């Protein structure tokens, strides 16, 4: 394993979600689960477009302290994830503080452990996205939004829905 980077997943890369397989595939590199927690600051987490894509909007102070998972990834996995999330043109990877409240075995960390993590934020978004429901915890299957549909990756349309003109 070469290089070490800490990333925080709030969306489809989480365990049990639709893109979990990306983190598990050794062809992409390595990702080691470190624990769970929430962002130290509040951000709006929304699910948008007909494809049910989760977005953490880069707007501090609105929404919730969003829940997610912390992983240590190597250079190779980080490069893979950057391409997969279309960093920096769509999502943008930015450092933010995470309060880890559970270790990798699910044991409670009290006080929480502070970690500076990479997070894939959506920096540019349509103002209408601020009218959507702000979530604390993303799951694909929810009565509040349509389920995630990975076909969006092949369609320009999904970006048009999310990104401002
Ligand atoms: N994948 C990244 C960003 C949004 C998404 O679905 C994640 O899980 O954090």
User: What pLDDT shows up at residue 51?
Assistant: 85
Check: CB of residue 63 under 8 Å from CB of residue 43: yes
- In angstroms, what is the span from residue 156 Cα to ligand 1's centroid? 18
Which residue's alpha carbon is at the smallest distance from atom 5 of ligand 1? Answer: 11
Given the residues 17, 85, 136, 141, select the one marked as catalytic.
Answer: 85
- Choose among 26, 119, 138: nearest CA to 70: 119
> pLDDT truncated to tens, each residue of the chain (165 aa)?
689 999 999 999 999 999 999 999 999 999 999 999 999 999 999 999 888 899 999 999 999 999 999 999 999 999 999 999 999 999 999 999 999 999 999 999 999 999 999 999 999 999 999 999 999 999 988 888 888 887 666 566 666 667 887
CA-CA distances (angstroms) from residue 111 to 41, 70, 99, 103?
A: 17, 17, 9, 12
Pocket of ligand 1 (CB under 6 A): 9-14, 54, 85, 91, 120
Check: CB of residue 163 under 8 Å from CB of residue 126: yes
Query: And the tokens for 146?
Result: 């349509």
Among this protein's residues, is 17 annotated catalytic? no
User: What pLDDT shows up at residue 158?
Assistant: 64
Query: And the tokens for 84?
Result: 């997969």
65 three-state secondary structure: coil
User: What pLDDT shows up at residue 154?
Assistant: 57
Which residue's alpha carbon is at the smallest distance from atom 9 of ligand 1? Answer: 9
- Choose among 124, 132, 127: nearest CA to 46: 132
User: What pLDDT shows up at residue 105?
Assistant: 98
93 three-state secondary structure: strand
User: What pLDDT shows up at residue 142?
Assistant: 84
């Amino acid at each position: 394993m070469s290089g070490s980077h800490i990333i925080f997943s709030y969306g489809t890369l989480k365990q049990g979600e639709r893109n979990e397989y990306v983190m598990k595939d050794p062809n992409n590199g390595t990702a080691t689960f470190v624990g769970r927690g929430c962002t130290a600051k509040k951000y709006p987490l929304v699910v948008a477009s007909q494809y049910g894509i989760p977005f953490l909007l880069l707007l501090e102070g609105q929404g919730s302290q969003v829940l997610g998972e912390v992983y240590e990834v190597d250079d190779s996995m980080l490069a893979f994830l950057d391409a997969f999330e279309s960093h920096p043109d769509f999502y943008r990877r930015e450092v933010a503080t995470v309060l880890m409240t559970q270790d990798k075995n699910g044991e409670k960390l009290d006080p929480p452990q502070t970690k500076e993590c990479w997070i894939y934020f959506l920096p540019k978004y349509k103002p209408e996205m601020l009218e959507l429901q702000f979530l604390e915890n993303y799951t694909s299957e929810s009565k509040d939004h349509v389920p995630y549909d990975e076909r969006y990756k092949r369609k320009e349309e999904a970006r048009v829905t999310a990104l401002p003109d």
